[in-house]
Amino acid sequence: MIGNLISVGQRLSGRNDPRLAYGIACSAAEGLFAAALYPLIYLLLREVEAGAVTTHSAGLYALAMFACVMLRIAAGRIAMPMLFSAAYALMGEARLRVANHLRRLPMGWFARQRGGDLSARLTSDLELVEHLWSHFLGVFVTGLTMPICLMAFLFWIDVRMALAALAGLPPALLALWWTQRVVGQPGERLIAASASVQSELLEYVQGIAVIRSFGRFGDAWQRLLRKLDEQHAALVAVESKPTPWLVSYGFLLEAGYVGLVFAGVWWLSAGTLSALVLVSFMVLVLPVYRQLFDVGQAMLMLRFSRRAMSRIEELLTEPVLPEPASALPPQGHDIVVDAVHFAYEGAAEVALRSVSCTFPARGLTAIVGPSGAGKTTLVHLIARLWDVQAGAIRIGGVDVRDIGSHLLHRHVAMVFQDVVLFSGSVRDNLRIGCPDASDDQIVAAARRACAHDFIEALPQGYDTVLDEGGASLSGGERQRLSIARALLRDAPILLLDEATASVDPSGEAEIQRALAELARGRTVIAIAHRLHSVRHAEQILVLDGGRLVERGRHEELVQQAGVYARLWERQMQARRWTLAASGAH
Ligand SMILES: Nc1ncnc2c1ncn2[C@@H]1O[C@H](COP(=O)(O)OP(=O)(O)OP(=O)(O)O)[C@@H](O)[C@H]1O
């Protein structure tokens, strides 16, 4: 079991830590020295009984006992910090390995996860395993070594009595085995219920604005209460179900004591057993029973945490997007989409069907189309957030699957619809894509993204610490920060997913200018709903129902009287209504 625990730890952290083996050895030594005291007392008493004790031998015994106590304390003092530091180091690495693995998983995997479940694996599951390693391992090893050594000594004194003392062990082990089985199912239920509560709480907090605006507090609250009730029931089951069996284990273990006393008195009266041996057994088996009971309890904890370990292992075995054996650098920055087909896992509709197109290097291509047409999917495939299911995407003549994620990230920068900002200063957030950027470069990028003025107006300017997710900024401000971040990356290919969606019309005009300037030196692909913002693009691709239906410049497409012309006409109408409405005021 210890071996299993250690090998799981090694698999999770990806390495071995010698401190662990030393810590376990010291814990075993602690158990050994704790047990060694009793044989010394017994041997001393035997000499006293035989009248052979001298001042010299008594002194030696006292010295040996003192040494045992000191060595036990020393072994414990060495074992504990060793196990703690090994556990924290190994689990720290396990966290990093999980984080690194998550980075390489396809986005589809995240779409299938509930946020709370994932965060439960990364927090409470890992904490449980960490606790097991730091606090449980040493106690378990010491707790097991001590009764084994003591029993070995008792067998040496008198085999018959030792066997009588352990008469209750076989049925007790059966009860312990059953206890472990009984705790398995409620344990799994508790882990699932706790993850579910985390998910529910996360959704509740994230959706609080929507819940409030729709006045659905009652429903959300009831759902949360239900999940908490389930967790409470699972907690009670974990505690109550194994308890009768654990008590039986303890009872059966100590049942041998009654047999021991009867057999001992019998053999004493028959003259085959000395009073000293009888008393020694009656005193020494009690700590053996107590330690074995504690070990049994600890084994329950191990059984419970096995599920947590396998949940973390499951994360590490999720297949990542395959990386090439040797990465090939792209030979240019034009992008060719060649007969690409893609469907989301479990989705009824295909997202992209046999799409073929070319994005010339150093030019602006706009992707437009009705909602759900596949625009975001196409851009995500170029950034290789997913892998195509048929066809290929090539950058500078090299398939994105052969470029390797590291090189690909150096060539492609993305500005997403949903801007993700991290807690930290504005400067730190801008530096994410380019850690070595100087302050001047940061300010220059912010100016070009029309973000400099509002950043300067923040209490500490570029050093203002943003709340988690930049919640204190407006949508447009967050968007402009993400554009500045991409500008700073200075990647030759820039993917903009509705980059100007949350920017007000005046800001949009400024950003359009910045984007146009940017496009001169780069390959820019911009998804746009507001068609007038991309009408100067060198090329406009029109997607509809996952197919590429039209391509050309704005004027050509308007004349074709197809999907684009209809979208354009609708937007012009909407603009006229807006202008008329504002004129009426
Ligand atoms: N993670 C996903 N899982 C399953 N289906 C998805 C997923 N993301 C998108 N889809 C579906 O794939 C199709 C294309 O979606 P996509 O987001 O690419 O469209 P879009 O043109 O960018 O839409 P919009 O303009 O509304 O953002 C849609 O039918 C959408 O419902």
pLDDT in tens, 80-103: 899 889 888 888 888 888 888 888
In short, whether 111's Cβ falls inside 6 Å of ligand 1 is: yes
pLDDT in tens, 273-288: 999 999 999 999 998 9
Supply the pLDDT for residue 366: 92
Q: What are phi and psi of 548, to 5 degrees?
A: -85, 110
Backbone φ and ψ of 546, nearest 5°: 80, 5
Ligand 1 close to Cβ of residue 377 (< 6 A): yes
For the domain covering 362-381+403-557, report its CATH number. 3.40.50.300
pLDDT for 497: 79
In degrees rounded to 5, what are phi and psi of residue 386?
A: -135, 170
Rounded CA-CA distance 334/359 in Å is: 6
Q: How many CA atoms lie within 13 A of 159 on its CB side?
A: 0
**Apex 519 CA angle, 382 and 438, nearest 5:** 95
- Atom 14 in ligand 1: residue holding the nearest Cα: 374
> Predicted confidence band at 500 (pLDDT cuts at 50, 70, 90)?
low
DSSP 8-state secondary structure symbol assigned to residue 122: I
Are 164 and 263 within 8 A, CB to CB? yes
State the pLDDT at residue 504: 60
How far, in Å, from the CA of 4 to the mean position of ligand 1? Answer: 44
pLDDT of residue 36: 92
Residue-level pLDDT at 393 = 96
How much is the ipTM here? 0.97
- pLDDT value of position 88: 87
Ligand 1 mean position, distance from CA 496 (Å): 16
Location of structure tokens 């529910």:
200
Residue 115 reports pLDDT greater than 70? no
Lowest mean pLDDT across 290-304, 373-387, 397-411: 290-304
Task: State the Cα–Cα distance between residues 232 and 222, nearest whole angstrom.
Answer: 15
Q: Is 376 in the pocket of ligand 1 (CB under 6 A)?
A: yes
Fold that domain 2-317 belongs to in CATH: ABC transporter transmembrane region fold (1.20.1560)
Confirm or reject: Cβ of 369 under 6 Å from ligand 1. yes
Domains in the chain: boundaries = 2-317, 362-381+403-557
CB half-sphere exposure, 246, CA atoms < 13 A: 20
Q: Take atom 11 of ligand 1 and give the residue whose Cα is closest.
A: 351
- pTM, 2 dp: 0.68
- What integer pLDDT is reported at residue 339 of this predicted model? 95
3-state secondary structure of 462: helix
Q: What is the mean pLDDT of residues 485-492?
A: 84
Write out the two tokens for 376.
């975001």
Most confident listed range (65-69, 191-195, 433-437): 65-69
Report which ligand 1 atom has the smallest distance to the Cα of 378.
Answer: 18
With a 6 Å cutoff on the Cβ, whether 348 touches ligand 1 is no
Residue from 250, 413, 259, 405 nearest 327 by CA: 405
**Per-residue three-class SS string for 128-147:** HHHHHHHHHHHHHHHHHHHH
User: Residue 44: enclosing H or E segment and its boundaries?
Assistant: helix 18-50
